[in-house]
Amino acid sequence: MVALDIPNGCTLSPSLATPHLLGTPHLHINHDVAADLDSSNAFEGPEKLLEVWFAPSPKALAPSVKENGLKSVPADVWVEMLDLVNCKILSVIHSETVDAYLLSESSMFVFPHKIILKTCGTTTLLLGLHRMLRIAATVAGFPFHNAVSANDIRAAATPYRVFYSRKNFLFPDRQQGPHRSWKQEVKYLDDMFEGGSAYMVGKMNGDHWYLYITSPTFNPTPPQTPVDKDSNAVLGSLVSRSNKIPTGILATPADRAPGDHASAADDEDKHDETLEILMTDLDPENAKQFYLSNASAVAHDRILSQTDSALLKAATASKQQQQQQHGHGHGLVQQDSHMSDSTYSVLDSEDLFDVDDIAVQNAANGNKNDNGACSSGGSLTPLSEHLDSADMEALTTEGHALGTVVSDSCGLSDVYPQSVYPDARIDAYMFAPCGFSANGVIPAPPADGDAVASSTTNGEIPETAETAETASVSTSDSGPTSAQGNHYFTVHVTPEPNCSFASFETNVPGGQKGRQTADIVKHVVDIFRPGRFSVTLFEAKGTSIDSTTKPGGSSGKRLERIPGYRRIDRIVHDFEDYDLVFRFFEREGFVSNGEARVGEL
């Protein structure tokens, strides 16, 4: 389990409000929204996934773009966009290269040059797309289309790439806006963008996956000169004959920001890789982990277990103190531990809270007689007596606290373990009465043989900017530095038996630190044990960090054989600059309760 620093009662703050967090992802929680959440009405697990790139990489931003690009946009501006989508922000992990927003319906990831928005249920994701483009133009400063001034209501940033995808819905008749059918979604996107292409992957009469994609087009002399030096309007947009937004027009090297020496080989899209696992018909026993009642029981048991452990450690410390007082100890280090009334509550990397501090305090301050021995025959005050009823209830019911418990107990925290990724952070939430969401921010790990340059100890903020910067430039054995290469993963679970669904998505490169894509898939599938699941692997051509994930590679062959499952389909799409491999699996011996829920055709 990773360490989290949680500010109690902290409202949302924009990324710019935390400029000191150079290397360490930090979590901020919107308690007002979290307190009102209830998942009783959730029914449609499969998410709509939108990914919009405004540049090939953070190094390739146009001169008009603000420092940090989209990350410079205040959170309250994103709130306005998300209102159109019908979801709320629960909490945010801020890091140097990505801000990970945990939403009431899934997740949003904001990088300097791109944004990923994933929403479930009956959210109207595409209705927020135009507002997203306008925010990119008017707030972040990206070049815009069909307007002279950013004050023009028509001003919308010109994307470099657009991806939209989803699994077939189970209940399409309950969707709203353009999401009632794939045909309507494609029309909505085609009416907005030039040059998009739509695909359906998989069986028409079974589970399948939809994709809409635009591709960049490089013109050596594109009309990218701004109207004037203070404007990010594009001259070419003034003479456009279409209201559609062009995509993929790159800035020439001369148009890039001063000091930006990025070449095409440096562009992030040349190393882009996304793995998505979509699971249905979850095993009922495995699904129980994602019910509030079960999570509360696990948290309660953990409190009792940690109390016992703390008592034992404190008794040992007390005995050592006695030995030292009688000349039998050798250099016992005194611990000045105490319970704090700070507004910040810390989730330790091993415990839900710091029970050692409580126990040692008992031994050192509250429960010793005049001779230094523990009173009542060496017994210590139980942990529960140090917590009032409200605190105890929060530890066993609060969504973020229980989310952390679930991510640890179900094995999610071990997908990218902190022992390998010391600066990784997970933000998890347990819904009532059931349902679970989690975001992870995964900086690149230290190279083999390098010292672990972790910028945090037990969730604490680095004391100086120098130490934070040192921590942020540790390198991976393959791939970019963590300062340039923060990755993410996101998990969402709907455990109800009539519509059970779980999704896992990540852009952590396969093969990093020797762990292949097939290992990640097996780990995730073992958590949920679905009856059916699909795996989509979307990779930029030719430059995958893990070349063995290619269709003919050894890891690709391993993906054909997930223990306990039969591969039903394997479909390959060869796009201009991406490879897509779609696989569909069914558990051996799985018996469905009825016909396959196609939902839509």
Domains of the chain: 4-33+44-291+400-587 (3.60.90.10), 293-391 (no CATH)
CB atoms within 10 A of CB 435: 24
Weakest mean pLDDT among 66-75, 233-242, 363-372, 435-444:
363-372
577: Cβ contacts below 8 Å, ≥ 6 apart: 215, 216, 269, 540, 541
> What's the pLDDT at 597?
59
Residues 6+ apart with CB under 8 A from 355: 306, 307, 309, 310, 383
Per-residue pLDDT at 369: 40
In the numeric block, the tokens 């947009």 are attached to 237
Which of 60-64, 301-305, 536-540 is least confident?
301-305
Output the pLDDT for position 425: 93
Distance separating the N- and C-terminal Cα atoms of the chain: 41
pLDDT of residue 343: 31
In this prediction, residue 448 carries a pLDDT of: 54
- The pLDDT of residue 404 is 92
Longest dimension (CA), the chain: 92
- Three-state SS string over 283-348 comes to CHHHHHHHEHHHHHHHHHHHHHHHHHHHHHHHHHHHHHHHHHHCCCCCCCCCCCCCCCCCCEEEEC
Mean of pLDDT values over 478-501: 76
Q: What is the pLDDT of residue 569?
A: 95
What confidence tier does 318 reach under pLDDT thresholds 50, 70, 90?
Answer: low
- How sure is the predictor about 151, in pLDDT bands with cuts at 50, 70 and 90? confident
Stretch among 1-15, 286-300, 319-333, 465-479 having the lowest mean pLDDT: 465-479
**By the 8 A CB rule, do 598 and 168 touch?**
yes
163 and 537 Cβ atoms separated by less than 8 Å: no
**pLDDT greater than 70 at residue 208:** yes
pLDDT at 195 over 70: yes
Determine the 3-state secondary structure of 465 from DSSP.
Answer: helix
pLDDT tops 60 at residue 550: no
Q: What is the pLDDT of residues 68-118, one digit of tens each?
A: 999 999 999 999 999 999 999 999 999 999 999 999 999 999 999 999 999
Q: What is the pLDDT of residue 556?
A: 67
Q: What is the pLDDT of residue 333?
A: 34
pLDDT of residue 456: 35
Does the pLDDT of residue 339 top 70, yes or no? no
Smallest Cα–Cα separation from 71: which of 143, 140, 135, 159? 140
What burial class does residue 431 get, using C-beta atoms within 10 Å of its C-beta: 0-12 exposed, 13-18 middle, 19+ buried? buried
Mean pLDDT across 308-323: 66
| Least confident range of 43-47, 311-315, 570-574 | 311-315
Which of 274-288, 395-409, 546-560 has maximum average pLDDT? 274-288
- Give dist(CA 477, CA 262) in Å, integer: 21
The C-alpha atoms of residue 231 and residue 251 are separated, in whole angstroms, by 15
- Which of 19-23, 35-39, 503-507 has maximum average pLDDT? 503-507
In 461-529 the beta strands, taken as DSSP E runs, fall at 487-494, 501-506
Average pLDDT across the chain, whole number: 74
What confidence tens digit (pLDDT) does each residue in 226-248 have?
Answer: 444 455 655 444 444 467 888 87
Q: What percent of the chain has pLDDT over 90?
A: 48
Q: Has residue 47 got a pLDDT over 90?
A: yes
- Give the span between the Cα atoms of 432 and 428, in whole angstroms: 14
Name the DSSP class of 250.
P
Q: What is the DSSP string of 514-525?
A: G--HHHHHHHHH
User: What is the per-residue pLDDT for 587?
Assistant: 97
Residue 303, token pair as written in the block: 């409190």
